[in-house]
């Protein structure tokens, strides 16, 4: 997934009201950028961090910049836009770049499938059970090389696990795919101390037959792309 316009660097002043961030551009101007991330963003929203913004000239948007990346040091990056993972995974699914799901030739996004939910992707293929794929963005890291999810309590995420388990019971295939949107991690685990209910729901869904996949990304100022599978620690 390539960014629509070239990113520009800035220094983070503060993130506030969840979806807003004040930054200082390299020319000294201070602007407010949209932060497309409702989570805690632990470790990624510290004042003074080097961040990268995507400019836009859309007259319908109130803010002219969207915060897309944070520099982590050592040549590593984190993507902070929670809308990006679905775009990355969609491209990968359509290209057959997720081996576990490559046999499916139809990729349908945002399909209603439960009382209150839309699944991120419904996959169909000749002679194959329908596959319901839910994507979650993971960019929390509190220990070296370990990515975690979630970074805040998520009742919605728990509901998605329950919906996926329901699809398995109905005879379909269901997959929870975690996309680690940072380049400095080589394994993944649940942050059960942050959301015990989600961790319990995850264990129940997995026992019910929900499959779990985790991939990381290649990230730079040009874009974000699916890279490699990561082991899931339990």
Residue 143 counted as domain residue: yes
Do 144 and 111 sit in the same domain of this protein?
Answer: yes
Mean pLDDT lowest among 22-31, 36-45, 52-61, 225-234: 52-61
Q: Are 92 and 218 in contact (CB under 8 A)?
A: no
Q: How many CB atoms lie within 10 A of CB 6?
A: 10
Confidence of residue 133 (pLDDT cuts 50, 70, 90): very high
Which CATH number covers residue 146? Answer: 3.40.1350.60
Confidence of residue 90 (pLDDT cuts 50, 70, 90): very high
Do 98 and 177 sit in the same domain of this protein?
Answer: yes
Full-model pTM: 0.95
Residue 88 counted as domain residue: yes
Helices 155-169 + 196-208 axis angle, to 10: 10
Do 94 and 31 sit in the same domain of this protein?
Answer: no
Do 192 and 90 sit in the same domain of this protein?
Answer: yes
Alpha-carbon distances of 223 from 18, 150, 177, 216, rounded to whole Å: 23, 23, 20, 14
Do 146 and 220 sit in the same domain of this protein?
Answer: yes
Residue 2 counted as domain residue: no
Of 115 and 6, more confident: 6
Q: Are 230 and 187 in contact (CB under 8 A)?
A: yes
Residue 3 counted as domain residue: no
Question: Looking at the 3D structure of the chain, how many domains does it have?
Answer: 2
Q: pLDDT digits over 14-36, tens only?
A: 999 989 999 999 999 999 999 99
Domain end among 62, 79, 96: 79
Q: Which structural domain range is residue 56 located in?
A: 8-79
Residue 61 counted as domain residue: yes
Do 130 and 225 sit in the same domain of this protein?
Answer: yes
Do 104 and 69 sit in the same domain of this protein?
Answer: no
Domain end among 79, 105, 134: 79
Strands ordered across the beta sheet of 232-233: 140-143, 146-149, 187-190, 232-233
Of 58 and 217, more confident: 217
Do 46 and 88 sit in the same domain of this protein?
Answer: no
Domain end among 60, 79, 98: 79
Q: What is the pLDDT of residue 57?
A: 84
Do 189 and 209 sit in the same domain of this protein?
Answer: yes
Asked if pLDDT for residue 114 goes beyond 90, the answer is no
């Amino acid at each position: 997934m390539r960014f629509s316009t070239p990113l520009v660097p800035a220094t983070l002043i503060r993130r506030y009201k969840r979806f807003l961030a004040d930054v200082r551009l390299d020319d000294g101007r201070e602007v407010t950028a949209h932060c497309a991330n409702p989570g805690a963003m632990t470790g990624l929203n510290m004042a003074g961090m080097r961040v990268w913004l995507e400019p836009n000239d859309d007259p319908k948007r109130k803010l002219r910049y969207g915060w897309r990346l944070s520099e982590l040091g050592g040549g590593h990056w984190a993507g902070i836009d929670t809308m990006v993972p679905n775009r990355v995974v969609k491209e990968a699914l359509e290209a057959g770049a997720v081996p576990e799901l490559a046999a499916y030739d139809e990729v349908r996004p945002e399909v209603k499938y439960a009382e209150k939910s839309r699944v991120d992707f419904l996959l169909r293929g000749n002679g194959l059970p329908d596959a319901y794929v839910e994507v979650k963005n993971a960019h929390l890291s509190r220990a070296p090389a370990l990515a975690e999810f979630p970074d805040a309590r998520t009742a919605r995420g728990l509901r998605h696990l329950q919906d996926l388990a329901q699809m398995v019971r109905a005879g379909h295939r269901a997959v929870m795919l975690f996309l680690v949107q940072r380049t400095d991690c080589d394994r993944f685990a649940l942050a059960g101390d942050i959301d015990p209910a989600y961790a319990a729901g995850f264990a129940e869904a997995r026992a019910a037959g929900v499959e779990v996949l985790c991939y990381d990304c290649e990230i730079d100022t040009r874009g974000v792309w699916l890279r490699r599978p990561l082991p899931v620690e339990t």
